Amino acid sequence: MYAIVQCGSKQYIVKKGDNIHVDLFDAKPGQEVELQNVLMVSKGEGDVQIGAPTVSGAIVKARYVAETKGPKVTSVKYKRRKNQYRKFGHRQRYAHLEIIDIQG
C-alpha cells in the first residue's frame, strides 16, 4: 500500500515506514501529524483510488521526528572590472517525518 501526498508545493510517494524530508511547518518533535492532501492511494495490484483533486477520507499519519538541514548551497556574486566579489551560502531547513499509517 502506498500513497501520493502533497505537502507544501511538492508531492511525495510514501508507504508505511518511510522517512521523508518536507518543508518546515509548525510541530514539535515526537508529535503526530496528519497529511490530508492525499492525491492517490493504491491498496494493491488493481485497487487504485485517484482523487479529483484529493481522495476524500484518505489520511496519511506521520510522526514529526526532528528538524534537519539540507546540503549547503553556495553562490557567488561577481561584478567584472569593479573588484567586487561576494560569496555566500545557504542551508534549507526541513522537517523529518516518519510515515506511521495510510488510511483510506
pLDDT tens, residue by residue, 67-90: 999 999 999 999 999 999 999 999
Q: Is the pLDDT of residue 39 over 90?
A: yes
Averaged pLDDT of the chain: 93
Q: Is the pLDDT of residue 104 over 90?
A: no
Q: Is the pLDDT of residue 43 over 80?
A: yes
pTM over 0.85: no
Question: Can you give the pLDDT at residue 46?
Answer: 81
Q: Is the pLDDT of residue 44 over 90?
A: no
Question: Can you give the pLDDT at residue 25?
Answer: 87
Distances (CA, A) of 83 to 53, 71, 75, 99, 100: 53, 29, 17, 51, 55
Q: Is the pLDDT of residue 41 over 90?
A: yes
For 16-31, what is the mean pLDDT? 92
Alpha helix (H) ranges present in the chain? Answer: none
Could you give the number of structural domains in the chain?
1
**Domain of 85, in residue numbers:** 2-103
